[in-house]
Chains A and B, each alone.
Chain A
Amino acid sequence: MKLRDVLFPAVAVLAAFLVGALFVAAIGDSPIETYRLLIGSAFSWPDGVGYTLFLATPLIFTGLAVAVAFRAGLLNIGAEGQLYMSAFAAAWCGITFARLPAVLLVPACMACAIGAGAMWAAIPGLLKARFGSHEVINTIMMNFIAVALCGYFTQYHYRTPGDPIMETAAVGANASLPRVGDFIPGVPSRIPLNFAFVLAMVACGLVYVLLWRTKWGYELRATGANPFAAQYGGISTGRQIVIAMAISGGLAGGVGINEVLGYRHRYYDGFSDNYGFTGIAVALLGRNHPVGVFFAAILFAVLSRGGIAVDAFTVHVTRDIVQILQATIILFVAAEAVFRGPFRKLGLLK
């Protein structure tokens, strides 16, 4: 690992917090008090830690999704749509095969979630490989189509009659992942942190092995680094694009597992708190590396959890400060050239 891989993200986060402090001070609240609430509320046991890691789970999945695609030279703006499709697919499986025993039903629901995400992402991959149409536009369009499709099936086919909420019926009782309270005595079962968090960590390891320890991962990174050279070197770049998108979407599908099997046990319309887009921030800040993605996801989860405390305990500041911080972090990471001059002067960069 090089110095710059830690330096640039760290400075971007610090700079964003400075900008955020200006915002808070401008409306007359105390930046120090706001940040104390924002960061401090994540560390209480068990609620703070439990909820923060629960909130980190979807962000790890979407961060990995964006990172894998990025390594192949693709921008997957569509994790949002992919995770909606995956959550709906998991719920569909859990409702349709509700009577299966847990050993069969849980893996089946997971396979549906991952498969649906992979399929939804593979479509823009195919369109890019076959027709050269840009994946950014197509994944944006696919987001809206996914939300509309899931909404349609929920509203017209899978809602419990009379339910005023846009949500499907509950999945079978066996379609459930154990929660942290089942492992650690004394932790109340309301805390939704569940086995999907372990899956997210496993996914980090798998992505690392896949990208840096296999021939196929090498080909994928070669495609991302220089598609023309890769093609010349005998790699089918079109195939790499489709596979990379499918894997990316499959990773985004982990969100569906966390949401349906671990948390709500049904598909709930509009459940995603912009996880797909936050995943872009997570991947960027984590420099598209699984270790970086993990820590970046934790950071954003801390902020997200703290937003609730900020809403409750400050005079003027609302949880919108979290989105301002997120956006500013992305801007500073994306435009890292801002810092290059000062760093050179300080002798930190050649």
Chain B
Amino acid sequence: MNELFTIELFWSSVRLSTPLLLAALGGLFSERSGVVNIALEGLMLAGAFTAAAVTWAAGNPWIGLAAAALAGMLVALIHAVACIRYKADQVVTGTAINILMLGIPGFLSGALFLSSGSTPQIAREHLIPWTPIVLAFLAVPITQYVLFHTPFGLRLRAVGENPEAADAAGINVATMRYAGVLLSGILSGVGGAYLSIGQASLFTRNMTSGRGFIALAALIFGKWRPVQTMAACLFFGLTEALTIQMQGVVKLPSGDDIPVQFIQIVPYVLTIVVLAGFIGHSRAPRALGVPYRKEN
């Protein structure tokens, strides 16, 4: 068992938690403003595809990273306009964005690269394996500060908890919610970029494979608070690292591998348990999911 818990496992957990953390912090801004964001998965896919495609075309990962943030923001804008301007159901819109982002990368790579859903390989010197990790963990104290120590953060939380009161106090509810959702797009886009130009060296079809939903789980597990959310992401990253490292190393007494499925489901089971209130209570922002209709 000892050969498993090494410094390598720690770094592996940090690397695997990075995309989760970026997306989860994004989700935090959106949900704190009162807009449910189950579109994190789609936003990450937008970032992952754009980063790989632009980095390959421009030969520069920084342009790719910036493009990924922009792409995430633009896709988030669809979510924002539908939910805030047109009062669409936020869960339904989020689902639509996830489906849209399963389609668009494949569609574009078919047209641009004549491939069935992946981008060309990016040269090793054009990858950025470290920067997104630093960005992700720097984003935690920044989010904490912005959310709890700036007027912007106060307003953001106010429109998520009690939009009527915030409105009465002269805060523009719609503007704050747009800001929250667009920030979620930027952060998730960077999180996706890390997958394609940090960990891997190309975009492949559906390469997030559910990480957006694990990020959402981490956000709930972390009770919509930055530091706790980071802890949850690290823990979920650890479970993923374990599923990779345990294969072929740790065996059951019978000589078989421990089924990876049992470790894979840990984040999901824990989220259900936490939501039910068995381990402390995780309370969502009060106005989460409710479109705000200004009374005349």
**A residues lining the B interface (CB < 8 Å):** 23, 27-28, 75, 77, 127, 130-131, 133-134, 136-138, 140-142, 144-145, 148-149, 151-152, 155-156, 274, 277-278, 280-281, 284, 316-318, 320-324, 326-328, 330-331, 334-338
Contacts and interface: CB of A to CB of B under 8 A. Distances in A.
> Among the interface residues A138, A142, A321, A330, which one has the most CB atoms of the partner chain B within 10 A?
A330
B110 A327 contact: no
B207 interface: no
Interface stretch (B11-19, B86-94, B133-141): B86-94
Contacts of B146: none
B100 A337 contact: no
B272 A148 contact: no
A320 B271 contact: no
B264 A137 contact: no
23 contacts: A27-B111, A136-B38, A137-B275, A138-B272, A140-B216, A141-B213, A144-B268, A149-B261, A156-B256, A156-B259, A274-B99, A317-B111, A318-B107, A320-B110, A322-B103, A323-B103, A324-B100, A331-B96, A331-B97, A335-B87, A335-B93, A337-B86, A337-B87
B52 to A, nearest CB: 16
Contact of B96 (A140, A274, A330, A336): A330
A316 B82 CA distance: 30
A315 B105 CA distance: 17
A195 B269 CA distance: 37
Contacts of A277: 95, 98-99
A320 B104 contact: yes
Given A316-B110, A320-B110, A284 B92 contact: yes
Nearest to B269: A145
A274 B105 CA distance: 17
Given A140-B213, A152-B259, A320 B92 contact: no
A185 to B, nearest CB: 39
B106 interface: yes
Interface of B: 36, 38, 78, 81-82, 86-89, 91-93, 95-100, 102-108, 110-111, 114, 116-117, 210, 213, 216-217, 220, 256, 259, 261-262, 264-265, 268-269, 271-272, 275-277, 284
Contacts of B89: 75, 334
B100 A323 contact: yes
A155 B88 CA distance: 41
A323 B102 contact: yes
Contacts of B256: 156
Contact of B216 (A137, A149, A317, A338): A137
Given A144-B213, A318-B107, A323 B275 contact: no
Given A152-B261, A337-B87, A324 B104 contact: yes
Closest 6 CB pairs of A and B: A323-B103, A327-B100, A27-B111, A320-B106, A330-B96, A318-B110
Contacts of B265: 144-145, 148-149
Nearest to A126: B276
Nearest to A23: B107
Nearest to B95: A280
Contact of B275 (A131, A281, A328): A131
B268 A141 contact: yes
B291 to A, nearest CB: 10
B93 A133 contact: no
Contacts of B262: 148, 152
A323 B261 CA distance: 29
Nearest to A323: B103
A326 B92 CA distance: 12
Contacts of A149: 261, 265
A327 B217 contact: no
B24 to A, nearest CB: 14
B38 A140 contact: yes
A140 B98 CA distance: 13
A142 B268 CA distance: 7
Contacts of B217: 137, 141
Given A75-B91, A321-B107, A334 B272 contact: no
A134 B98 CA distance: 20
B261 A334 contact: no
A111 B20 CA distance: 39
B88 to A, nearest CB: 4
Contact of A316 (B86, B111, B284): B111
Contact of B276 (A127, A136, A336): A127
Contact of A331 (B82, B87, B102, B259): B82
A327 B86 contact: no
B100 A137 contact: no
A136 B91 contact: yes
Contact of A317 (B100, B104, B110): B110
B285 to A, nearest CB: 12
B68 to A, nearest CB: 20
A335 B89 CA distance: 8
A330 B95 contact: yes
B261 A318 contact: no
> Among the interface residues B38, B93, B95, B264, which one has the most CB atoms of the partner chain A within 10 A?
B95
Contact of A280 (B82, B92, B105): B92
Contacts of B104: 320, 324
Nearest to B90: A334
Contact of A133 (B102, B210, B277): B277
A318 B117 CA distance: 9
Contacts of B98: 277
B103 A77 contact: no
A11 to B, nearest CB: 14
A330 B216 contact: no
Contact of B91 (A77, A322, A324, A328): A77
Nearest to A314: B110
A121 to B, nearest CB: 14
Nearest to B42: A327
Given A77-B91, A318-B107, A334-B88, A328 B261 contact: no
